[in-house]
Amino acid sequence: MHDWRKLHQYLYNACLSHRITEYQHFGKNVSYFDQQNCLRGFKEVWPEYKQLGSQALQATVKRVDSAYSRFFKGLAKFPRFKSFQRYRGWTYPATSGWKAHTMGDHGALELSNLGQIRMRGKARTWGQPTTCTIIWKNNKWYCSITIKCEVERETGTGACGIDFGILRAITFDDSTGIENPKFLAKSKDKIAKASRQLRRKRSPNRKKRIRASKPWKKARQKVSKLQNKVTNQRQDWQHKVSAQIVSGNSLVATEKLNLKGMTRKAKKGSKRKKQKTGLNRNLLDVGIGNLTQLIKYKVEESGGVFVEVPIKIAPSQTCPNCGKKRKKELSERVHNCDCGCIMDRDAAAATVMLNYARGLGTSLLNRGSQSSEQAHTPKRCGGLAKDWEVKRQKPRT
């Protein structure tokens, strides 16, 4: 499997080099179908690629095309060549070349020209497998299978407003909340100690042609294992929390935060650089962006309504009782208005969001509708399914 991963890496770099060379020397733009039509002759020259499967090779070519599409749309930097360590795996975009012998609970994965491999895992809902992606990560092989099924998720008839924070990760409109588990903060000392040990070992240097020592590779794996554990803990916590929220609420309202601006580095020469770094670390430790997306798709799966309140409403500066706005400092954690409304600041902001959602006419009667706020539509670069609808073009003569 590592040999196959290396072959896919070579093909990726060859396609990228082909595009760069054609444009720099001949001024020609190479399309996805141009490179796809070259695969037949490519496999005749390099017969070891025949065992990988045609559609798997086409998916690798499509990765290069997707990287270029993201670059021209301003979503990523210019594609670069991949080393063997940075190239994780390959994809089967259709049902040919692989077969899953399972009903969603463990089983085996059969790959053409390789055989069956036992796999461990359980799917929440099983259906008809459509695509398969093989990934090498942290010295383990992972298989990501996409299935076509009817998603069912139970939910209640409640409604809630959610405000995200640092000390308390989530605060609801009824003043209850969920504490921040602080997975990164708890493992920070272990990661720092392992990183110091890594810096003392001989690291690789391509310019000086210095190879990494075996102790350096061992120390790097230790750091990677600790960081991966924190990531898994955070993702597991986020899935459990989002499922808990959706299980009792069909209407969820939260603020549309500019996380990229909130976690931006401090300006050069700033006197509060350390404070800003610590604040960014705590925000990223909660994973507000990913947690919001999990809640959103789970609410929509259950037929509920998810509302993102625009930032111009300023929920944290608005009174949930009278609607009066008053600027508050971050140190002011209690909302105290002249109308007599006294409550926790985060709970007051969550109540304002819920009132805003209900003021839009959003109720549990129109369950299944899309989010009320669609101010920003993410750019799409297309996928393999779009290109698979077009038949393979014949080579030009």
pLDDT under 70 in the chain at which residues? 360-397
**Strand bridging mode 158-164 / 249-255:** parallel
Distance of CA 379 to the CA centre of its chain: 15
Dihedral sign for Cα atoms in the order 188, 193, 199, 201? negative
Q: Phi/psi at 254 (nearest 5 deg)?
A: -150, 170
Alpha-carbon gap, residue 288 to 357, rounded angstroms: 20
Q: Which residue type is seen at 56?
A: A
Dihedral sign for Cα atoms in the order 360, 364, 366, 370? positive
Give 223-232 contacts, CB < 8 A, sequence gap 24+.
223/191, 223/194, 223/195, 223/198, 224/138, 225/138, 226/187, 226/190, 226/191, 226/194, 227/191, 228/137, 228/138, 229/187, 230/183, 230/184, 230/187, 230/191
The angle subtended at Cα 317 by Cα 311 and Cα 319, nearest 5°, is 115
Dihedral sign for Cα atoms in the order 209, 214, 215, 218? positive
Alpha-carbon gap, residue 216 to 201, rounded angstroms: 5
As a whole number, the mean pLDDT across the chain is 86
Find tokens 């935060």 and name the residue.
257
Do the Cβ atoms of 94 and 78 come closer than 8 Å?
no
H-only helix segments in the chain: 2-26, 32-37, 39-45, 54-72, 183-199, 214-248, 259-262, 273-286, 288-301, 345-359, 384-388
* Secondary structure letter of residue 395 according to DSSP: P
The angle subtended at Cα 83 by Cα 82 and Cα 84, nearest 5°, is 120
Do the Cβ atoms of 204 and 211 come closer than 8 Å?
yes
Collapse the DSSP code of 135 into the 3-class scheme (helix H, G, I; strand E, B; otherwise coil) and give the result: strand
Q: Extract the tokens encoding 92.
A: 């089967």
Phi-psi category of residue 139: left, alpha or beta, with phi > 0 → left and psi -120 to 50 → alpha: left
